[in-house]
């Protein structure tokens, strides 16, 4: 019996890419691959790429350059590029990096087994189509092996919003929702494998329409699964937060009090230029409605600083929105061009101006985050323990509010939700003690 081939996967970017990497690994497992943590030991290296960050494509080419020595040392090594950069670059990757054996887009990775067989036969393989066949139908059922307590589950892909700064509609395609029965089947498989918390994923997850009652209906169905203790979802668009979903935050015990709701800017003029189709006022009113339903909910958001044409007044409007909302977590970036998007054709802001504004914005966000973490001291929260800490006898998990929490606890708490009284607030984590 021949030894199994080894697969090394490097994942860039969002939670959806993490999920995609798991499914690609499972697909290639059917071809005899087992995973390895060392690229040097691999028979195939697969880079699952993201196109959201600045100069994403160039970073991929740089990574491929570093792997050239591995290919030289092992001519049988196969190298593949997957994900959004693969979708955007396509044949250009093959041209600029002849060492690459296969390129596959995020909607075509169910075809990886056939592509692997082709490259093993000496061919090159390229597939960046938006195929008619449903990749989730083609993929095998999730493996029965024991899993970590928390897992991602993609329910929606693509985007129809066409924000002026974003490549997602071009790399992931239009909005598509998985049928609820197939999501439920995969969720049950995850729970049977030991998963206690599922995060539902989508580029615009709250635009999900695979259930007659939308995302809220899916959440209520999932909440009836025995053994599933927690439900989360990300990423949401403000325009798709309907009444039923807001109500679910107040009434569904398994839906956690944490919501990522990107706003991008507090300036109506910039929001219009971004093609966001909401205003600062509509966003603030939405936040009020969500907090009326669930007063203790923690909000996070995304911010882009230095979008083309942003004035100091526009930037101050963003700071004012942040002061009004008080975010517990946020992701903030300087604007950077994405080829093919409308904003890429506009005059860019000076780098020093963007850097200075980002510094001010992040200082305010850090101040808010630290205050919310300090206010957690003395509170008792549910914590799903996921792994041992670096100190003997210490376990680490996530709170209801997605804070990292560590506490002295026996090993048998792994996979359990336990009540923890918070005693220490750190910069990026909380410490506490088991209550029961």
Element (H, E) at 15: helix 15-29
166 assigned to a ligand binding site: yes
Token pair, residue 374, equals 């300090």
Dihedral sign (CA 248, 254, 258, 261):
negative
163 assigned to a ligand binding site: yes
In order of 8, 33, 138, the CA distances from 107 in angstroms are 21, 21, 12
14 assigned to a ligand binding site: yes
Contact (CB, 8 A) for 87 and 108: no
50 assigned to a ligand binding site: yes
Element (H, E) at 431: strand 430-434
User: Please, which residues have CB within 8 angstroms of residue 55's CB and are 6 or more apart in sequence?
Assistant: 336
User: Please, which residues have CB within 8 angstroms of residue 248's CB and are 6 or more apart in sequence?
Assistant: 216, 219, 220, 255
252 assigned to a ligand binding site: no
User: Please, which residues have CB within 8 angstroms of residue 284's CB and are 6 or more apart in sequence?
Assistant: 321, 324, 325
Instruction: State the residue for tokens 């040392």.
Output: 73
Contact (CB, 8 A) for 381 and 393: no
User: Please, which residues have CB within 8 angstroms of residue 345's CB and are 6 or more apart in sequence?
Assistant: none
Alpha helix locations (H) across 56-193? Answer: 56-66, 68-73, 84-89, 91-96, 112-120, 135-138, 168-171, 180-192
Instruction: State the residue for tokens 């296969």.
Output: 102
Instruction: State the residue for tokens 């090594």.
Output: 77
Instruction: State the residue for tokens 């990107």.
Output: 262
Strand 125-127: give its sheet, edge to edge.
33-35, 5-11, 44-49, 78-83, 102-104, 125-127
Token pair, residue 147, equals 């899993």
3-state secondary structure of 88: helix
Please give the annotated binding residues for [4Fe-4S] cluster, written as ranges.
Answer: 14, 50, 84, 159, 163, 166
Please give the annotated binding residues, written as ranges.
Answer: 14, 50, 84, 159, 163, 166
């Amino acid at each position: 019996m021949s030894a199994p081939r080894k697969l090394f996967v490097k994942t860039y970017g969002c939670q959806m890419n993490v999920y995609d990497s798991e499914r690609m690994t499972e697909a290639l497992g059917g071809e005899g691959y087992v995973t390895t943590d060392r690229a040097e030991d691999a028979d195939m290296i697969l880079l699952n790429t993201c196109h959201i960050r600045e100069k994403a494509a160039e970073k991929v080419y740089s990574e491929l350059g570093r792997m050239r020595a591995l290919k030289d040392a092992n001519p049988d090594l196969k190298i593949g590029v997957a994900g959004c950069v693969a979708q955007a670059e396509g044949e250009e990757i093959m041209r600029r990096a002849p060492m690459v054996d296969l390129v596959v887009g995020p909607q075509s990775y169910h075809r990886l087994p056939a592509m692997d067989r082709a490259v093993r036969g000496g061919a090159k393989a390229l597939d960046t189509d938006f195929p008619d066949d449903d990749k989730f139908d083609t993929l095998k059922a999730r493996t029965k092996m024991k899993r970590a307590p928390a897992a991602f589950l993609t329910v929606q892909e693509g985007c129809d919003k066409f924000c002026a700064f974003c490549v997602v509609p071009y790399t992931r395609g239009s909005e598509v929702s998985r049928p609820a029965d197939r999501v439920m089947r995969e969720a049950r498989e995850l729970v049977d494998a030991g998963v206690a918390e599922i995060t539902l994923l989508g580029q615009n997850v709250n635009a999900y329409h695979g259930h007659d009652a939308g995302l809220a209906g899916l959440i209520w169905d999932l909440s009836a699964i025995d053994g599933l203790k927690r439900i989360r979802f990300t990423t949401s668009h403000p325009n798709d937060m309907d009444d039923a979903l807001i109500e679910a935050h107040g009434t569904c015990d398994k839906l956690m009090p944490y919501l990522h709701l990107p706003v991008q800017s507090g300036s109506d003029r910039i929001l219009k230029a971004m093609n966001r189709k909401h205003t600062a006022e509509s966003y603030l009113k939405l936040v009020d409605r969500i907090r009326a339903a669930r007063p203790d909910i923690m909000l996070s958001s995304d911010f882009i600083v230095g979008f083309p044409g942003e004035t100091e007044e526009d930037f101050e409007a963003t700071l004012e929105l942040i002061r009004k909302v008080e975010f517990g977590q946020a992701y903030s970036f300087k604007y950077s061009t994405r080829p093919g998007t409308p904003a890429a054709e506009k005059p860019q802001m000076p780098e020093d101006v963007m850097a200075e504004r980002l510094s001010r914005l992040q200082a305010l966000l850090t101040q808010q985050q630290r205050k919310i973490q300090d206010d957690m001291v003395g509170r008792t929260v549910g914590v799903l323990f996921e792994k041992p800490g670096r100190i003997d006898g210490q376990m680490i998990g996530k709170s209801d509010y997605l804070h990292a929490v560590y506490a002295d606890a026996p090993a048998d708490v792994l996979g359990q939700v336990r009540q923890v009284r918070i005693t220490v607030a750190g910069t990026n984590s909380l410490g506490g003690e088991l209550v029961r």
